[in-house]
């Protein structure tokens, strides 16, 4: 018995070292496998953020509706009635709301992940877990709001089809999940680039809010791509969000231009941004506790 015990301890202590802590080295150390081990934490963070935000508000999830409804009303008045910008033969509110809902998701991903390091310095300073857990949880959490707003859009679609307004979702609707994934990856990519840079350059955070605002104007939210001249259309195709919005509209409402080249460019840009984000993020996560 004693002998058995002794041999048990021998084997258990003679194992190889499982962890080696060394100075920072290498750029390509993403340890994504570790991220998978922490998947429970991702889900718990999603839950925490959801519960925490809506437990104390009176209107609760109603907030999810208020913002897109009011923005749609204002867009309808300003861009539809006053500026008379065409909306690809779609009813104005439907056109605007579809753009707003998709854009909101992307903007939420970007905005909320951009302060990952600075906003979580307290917890990051005490416990180790893969830092990427936090922005990933944020992106998933934003999906909840997006889902609810999508329901709003679908109910508006039903309303208009009962009114006899003609629009037909295209087969692209099957690609919707991929489209959402691309928005999430792009938003996450931009967000972690910004969050990595803000650990060094605090003034960058000022840029995010209004940068996102400007980016929105460069995206066909309240105007269709079809009204632009070919030259401007080419320029706009550099914006990875432009084909996403157009495809999103095409999928649900059957209006909007789809070019396979612009879509491919958009996917390529998304992947590049995301990769740069990963690169910076994994580099910064090891050293930022000493710089914050």
Partner 1 sequence: MLPIISVEHLYKQYRLGTINHGMLRKDLQSWWARARGKEDPNVRIAGSMADKTRRPAASNDRFWALDDVSFDVEQGEVLGIIGQNGAGKSTLLKILSKVTTPTRGEIRLKGRVASLLEVGTGFHPELTGRENVFLNGAILGMTKTEVRRKFDEIVSFAELERFIDTPVKRYSSGMYVRLAFAVAAHLEPEILLVDEVLAVGDSQFQRKCLGKMGEIGKEGRTVLLVSHNMAAIRRLSAKTLLLENGKLAGFGDAQSIVAAYLDKTTEDPTSQDGLPPGFIYRMDRVKPETDYAITAIQLLDRQGRPLTDLGTWDYVCFRIFYSAAKVLKRGSVVLQIQTQEAVPLILASTEPDSMVPLPIGIGDSYADCIFPRFPISEGQYLVGAGLAIPLVEHVIWNNSLCQLSVSQRDVFKTGLPPSSKRYLVATDLEWRLPPK
| Positions that interact with partner 1 (CB under 8 A) | 9-10, 12-24, 37-38, 40-41, 44-45, 47-48, 51-52, 55-56, 123-129, 197, 200-204, 286-287, 289-291
The least CB distance from residue 259 to partner 1, in Å, is: 35
Nearest to partner 1 of 34, 155 (CB atom): 34
The least CB distance from residue 64 to partner 1, in Å, is: 18
Nearest to partner 1 of 152, 197 (CB atom): 197
The least CB distance from residue 66 to partner 1, in Å, is: 21
What DSSP line would sit under 232-280, residue for residue? Answer: HHHHHTTSTHHHHHHHHHHHHHS-S---HHHHHHHHHHHHHHHHHHHHH
C-beta of residue 273 within 8 angstroms of C-beta of residue 106: no
C-beta of residue 269 within 8 angstroms of C-beta of residue 240: yes
| Per-residue tokens: 85 | 């910008």
The least CB distance from residue 181 to partner 1, in Å, is: 24
Nearest to partner 1 of 45, 117 (CB atom): 45
The least CB distance from residue 40 to partner 1, in Å, is: 4
Cα-Cα end-to-end distance for the chain: 54
Rg, Å, the chain Cα set: 23
Task: Assign residue 168 a region (left: φ > 0; alpha: ψ between -120 and 50; beta: otherwise).
Answer: beta
Nearest to partner 1 of 28, 162 (CB atom): 28
The least CB distance from residue 47 to partner 1, in Å, is: 7
**Distance of alpha carbon 44 from alpha carbon 23, whole angstroms:** 31
Give the torsion through C-alpha atoms of 165, 102, 56, 209, to 10 deg: -130
**Distance of alpha carbon 96 from alpha carbon 101, whole angstroms:** 9
């Amino acid at each position: 018995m004693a002998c058995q015990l002794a041999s048990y301890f021998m084997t258990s202590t003679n194992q190889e070292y499982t962890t080696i802590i060394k100075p920072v080295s290498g750029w390509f150390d993403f340890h994504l496998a570790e991220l998978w081990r922490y998947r429970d934490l991702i889900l718990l963070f999603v839950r925490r953020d959801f519960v925490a935000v809506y437990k104390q508000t009176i209107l609760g999830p109603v907030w999810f509706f208020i913002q897109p409804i009011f923005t749609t009303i204002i867009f309808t008045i300003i861009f539809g009635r006053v500026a008379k910008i065409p909306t690809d033969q779609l009813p104005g509110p439907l056109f605007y709301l579809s753009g707003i809902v998709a854009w909101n998701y992307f903007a939420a991903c970007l905005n909320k992940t951009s302060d990952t390091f600075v906003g979580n310095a307290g917890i990051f300073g005490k416990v180790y877990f893969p830092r990427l857990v936090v922005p990933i949880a944020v992106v998933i959490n934003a999906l909840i709001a997006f889902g609810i707003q999508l329901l709003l859009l679908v109910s508006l679609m039903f309303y208009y089809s009962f009114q006899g307004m003609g629009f037909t979702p295209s087969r692209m609707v099957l690609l919707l999940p991929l489209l959402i994934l691309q928005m999430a990856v792009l938003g996450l990519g931009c967000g972690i680039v910004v969050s990595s840079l803000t650990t060094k350059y605090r003034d960058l955070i000022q840029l995010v809010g209004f940068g996102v605002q400007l980016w929105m104007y460069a995206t066909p939210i309240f105007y269709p791509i079809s009204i632009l001249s070919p030259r401007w259309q080419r320029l706009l195709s550099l914006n990875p969000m432009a084909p996403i919005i157009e495809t999103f509209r095409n999928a649900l409402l059957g209006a909007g231009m789809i070019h396979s080249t612009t879509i491919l460019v958009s996917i390529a840009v998304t992947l590049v941004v995301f990769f740069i984000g990963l690169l910076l993020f994994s580099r910064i996560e090891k050293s930022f506790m000493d710089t914050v």
